[in-house]
Amino acid sequence: MTAFAVLLSILAAIAIGAMSPGPSFVLVSRISVASSRSHGLASALGMGVGGAFFAALAVLGLTALLLKFEWLYVVLKLLGGAYLVYLAIKIWRGASEPLAVPGPSGEGRGLSVRRAFLVGLFTQLSNPKTSIVYASIFAALMPQSPPLWLLLALPPMLFCVEAGWYTIVALAFSGTRARLVYMRLKRWIDRGAGAVMGALGVKLMAEAITSKA
C-alpha cells in the first residue's frame, strides 16, 4: 500500500468513527441548537483540535502506553466518565431555565464562544476510547517506516476530518427550524441529552471498574 493510500485509509476510518453517535455528537448538536451557530462552530473546532491532539500522540507512539499500562487506561476512563456525568448534570439542571438569547456579538448569556470551544475540546479529550481507536487504526494501517510527509500531514488532516464533520452537525442543528423545535421542547430535549450524556459517562466508568476487578 502506498503512503497516499495509507493516508486515505486512515482518514476514512477516523471519519467513520467520528460519525458514530456518541457524547461528542450530543454535545455539539445541543450547543448549536441551544446557543447559536457561532457556539456550535466553536465546539466543532474544539473537537477538531482534540482529534489533532490524539493524532499527534498516535504519530509519536504515545497512545501505545495506554495499551501497555492498563491502569493508566482505567484511570482515564474513570476521569472521562466523571466529566461526562458532570456535563450531564449541568444540562439536566438547566433544562427548565429559559433559553439564553444571543446578543449582538452572537454570544448567549450563559455560554461564551470560548467556553463552547473548551467544552468541545475537553469532551473530545475526556474519552480515552478515542485515543485507543486512533492507536489501533494507526497500528493497523501505518507502514513500519512511514515517510516524514505522512507523519506531518496526519494531525492537520485529521483535524479537518473531525472539525469538518462536527461543523456539518453544528450547521444542521443551528438552523431556524431546529431552534424553533428546540424552544418548544427545550425541557424534554435537554433532559434527553443529559440522560444520554450521563448514561455514556456511567457506562465508561462501569467499564473501567469492571476491567479493574
The model's pLDDT over 2-56, given as tens digits with 9 standing for 90+, comes to 889 999 999 998 898 888 778 888 899 989 988 889 999 999 999 999 999 989 9
What is the per-residue pLDDT for 102? Answer: 47
Low-confidence ranges of the chain (pLDDT < 50): 101-109
Task: State percent of the chain over pLDDT 90.
Answer: 28
d(CA 127, CA 24): 9
Cβ atoms of 205 and 77 within 8 Å: the answer is yes
d(CA 85, CA 159): 26
What is the per-residue pLDDT for 66? Answer: 62
Cell numbers for 167:
461543523
d(CA 40, CA 168): 10
